[in-house]
A and B are shown apart, each in its own frame.
Chain A
Amino acid sequence: MTRKLPMYKAISEAIAQEMERDEGIFVMGEDIGVYGGIFGATNGLLEKFGPERIRDTPISESAFIGAALGAASKGMRPIVELMFVDFFGVAMDQIYNHIAKAHYMSGGQVKMPVVIMTAIGGGYSDAAQHSQCLYGLFAHVPGLKIVIPSNSYDAKGLMISAIRDDNPVMYFFHKGLMGLGWMPSPDEATVEVPEEPYTIPIGEAKVVKEGSDITIATISRMVYEALWAAEELEKEGISAEIIDLRTLVPLDKETLIGSVKKTGRLLVVDEDYMSYGMSGEIISTVVERIGNELKALPRRIAYPDVPVPYSRALEKYVLPDKEKIMETVKEMI
């Protein structure tokens, strides 16, 4: 049985089904209980599992994320929600110096089956401290798997995989994909989702549209901007292949490089900051291996290196979108 589910319900359903299966799973975070998570990712869980397993926390990110490590070391499988990824700065040490490294530093004695889920993305005038993506920053530090679904089907399957993974997984959901009543989301993100649990392997990209002239590698909400651009370009006779990377660590290099080999052109579209992030990583991954097979210089459309501005006029100008993609693709061909 499948039905159309918005992403936030797909995520909470995945967590609920896993919690029923495994008593070791519990959730911590701010406003995840009665409120059901500010972005609905824990919708309905408190009613099902009670306050012991669905724990509302004080604003103490360092403490409850660090607590996830302690609980994991005792065989639990904690899920923590960091309300906005922008808040990671107050808890980063527990994430990158401890949770990410414990397995390695302990010579494999300790496993860290921790899921840290967090909201990303802008486009709704939430300004510089509530609109960032920052997954590139987490991809930089070793020991974390980086998962970023773009639709409700992937969201459920990847969440179940994340929970079952014995490693720490950072699970990023874009606010503008969740299908919330109060925040616009592309219709395409709300898709048919099977009722029963299923997994999607972490580390498999998905070709969401096949094409022959150019590869557009992208992730999260930018998948749709790329799709909309590709539809228009199709009318002009340009055939773009779109890859939804889905996970940044591990990165599905095979699919990426295979596609660029075929098309000879690479455009990376990323909502995270431009410098020292995902876009540079994808391009260098390709140029290091098949730099001499490219027909055009690889390009990237990412967030320029400015904080996220508040005003609609300004934010629209810097946010990567369909128009910018079309323009760049035409320049490349």
Chain B
Amino acid sequence: MGVEEIPKETLLEMYKKMHKIRTYEETLAKWYYEGKTPLFDISAGPIPGELHLSPGQESAAVGMCIHLKDEDAVIGTHRAHHFAIAKGVDLKRMTAEIFGKATGLSGGKGGHMHLFDASKNFSCSGIVGASFPQAVGVGIAAKLKGENYVAVAVGGDGAANQGTFHEALNLAALWKLPVIFLIEDNGWAISVPKDKSTAVAKNSERAKAYGIPGVSVDGADVIAVYEVAKEAVERARRGEGPSLIEVRVYRLRGHFEGDPQAYRPKEDFELAKEKDPLLNFEKLLLEKGITTEEELNRIKEENEKEVQEIIDFAVKSPYPEPEEALKGVFAGGE
């Protein structure tokens, strides 16, 4: 399948989302450093706490989520903004959440690593590898209810060495559940390179341990991701069980904002630029004559404007009342 076989509006939608992610993340980064200098203080400024951004990894999110509907579930990791955006999470409320505001998705109780949007069946977690079993549960629900939604569990290459990966893949394979395990391989578990943490070169090889299909795909090419994801989603919807997809991507920024990245060789940064999925996609769209510079510029402007509005909303929103901290542990008002 080539890019020609994908409708133009789908391609432009993908481009728009990828560009929006990039614009959003870079804008957020600027806001993050507000008030944190001269001495870096992680808890200061308008965006408190840790921040893990996704530039360079947009293709994994967009290539996958373009095939998903609202009722399909995506369970992300600590680095989940790109998936949230690709899944259609309300960005104003998500951003307000990241700013710790009352208007946030969770009223400021969850924050950047714990984004929940029940209407979009999106959630994420700060614990590495936690998503895999949870997606299995969504798969069971689909099966028991006789509905054909699918669940996507996202994990990094580091997460693939965590016990939950093993347990969950086995369970999903055994029960033939509609689950897609998506390993975003950015080559680094924080500072530990993949070859020092993972005994196989490609995590897709591990599918053999569970008797399910495993594919590794170059994340520099969003069309390649699109194709692989399409097949996995269709397979899951047909009731044929889970798939394991490894998307090889490059982190354009540090593990978290403030990460000095001293551990990362220079070549890796250069490769990251070369493998930038957004630039590659832009080039492809223009080369193939699918779109024009003007059209893309219009999209870019729209995104920039939207992101600005989103940030404004978050900034202007009020903080929650402190007593809210004591509420909402249990459903039913306890």
Contacts and interface: CB of A to CB of B under 8 A. Distances in A.
Nearest to A28: B140
A63 B110 contact: no
Interface stretch (B167-175, B184-192, B217-225, B262-270): B167-175
Contacts of A143: 329-330
A63 B121 CA distance: 20
B105 interface: yes
A109 B168 CA distance: 25
A295 interface: no
Contact of B138 (A71, A94, A112, A166): A71
Contact of A74 (B73, B110, B164): B73
A26 interface: yes
A223 to B, nearest CB: 25
A74 B133 contact: no
A184 interface: no
A70 B127 contact: no
B334 A69 contact: no
Contacts, number: 165
Interface string A156-171: 0000000001110000
A121 to B, nearest CB: 27
B140 A62 contact: no
A58 to B, nearest CB: 6
A106 B123 contact: yes
Contact of A70 (B116, B137, B167, B334): B137
B104 interface: yes
Given A58-B171, A106-B110, A110-B116, A65 B73 contact: no
A102 B116 CA distance: 9
Given A58-B171, A69-B134, A145 B141 contact: no
B164 A104 contact: no
Given A93-B127, A93-B130, A250-B334, A109 B140 contact: no
B79 interface: no
A275 interface: no
Contacts of B144: 26, 52-53, 71, 76
B75 interface: yes
Nearest to A90: B163
Interface string A300-329: 000000000000000000000000000000
B163 A57 contact: no
A67 interface: yes
A181 interface: no
- Max chain B Cβ within 10 angstroms of own Cβ: one of A55, A98, A143: A98
B143 interface: yes
Contacts of B142: 74
Interface in B127-166: 127, 130, 132-145, 151, 163-164, 166
Given A73-B73, A94-B164, 17 more contacts: A26-B140, A60-B170, A63-B167, A67-B133, A70-B73, A70-B138, A76-B141, A93-B127, A102-B123, A103-B330, A103-B331, A105-B109, A107-B107, A108-B328, A112-B331, A142-B329, A143-B329
Interface of B: 73, 75, 104-110, 114, 116-118, 121, 123, 125, 127, 130, 132-145, 151, 163-164, 166-168, 170-171, 174-175, 328-332, 334
Query: Which A-B residue pairs are the 10 nearest by beta carbons?
Result: A70-B137, A66-B133, A107-B106, A63-B167, A106-B116, A67-B137, A60-B167, A74-B141, A71-B137, A166-B331
Interface of A: 26, 52-53, 55, 57-58, 60-76, 78, 90, 93-94, 97-98, 102-112, 142-143, 145, 165-167, 250
16 contacts: A58-B174, A62-B163, A63-B171, A64-B136, A65-B133, A66-B168, A67-B133, A67-B137, A69-B134, A71-B138, A73-B134, A74-B73, A93-B130, A105-B116, A142-B329, A143-B330
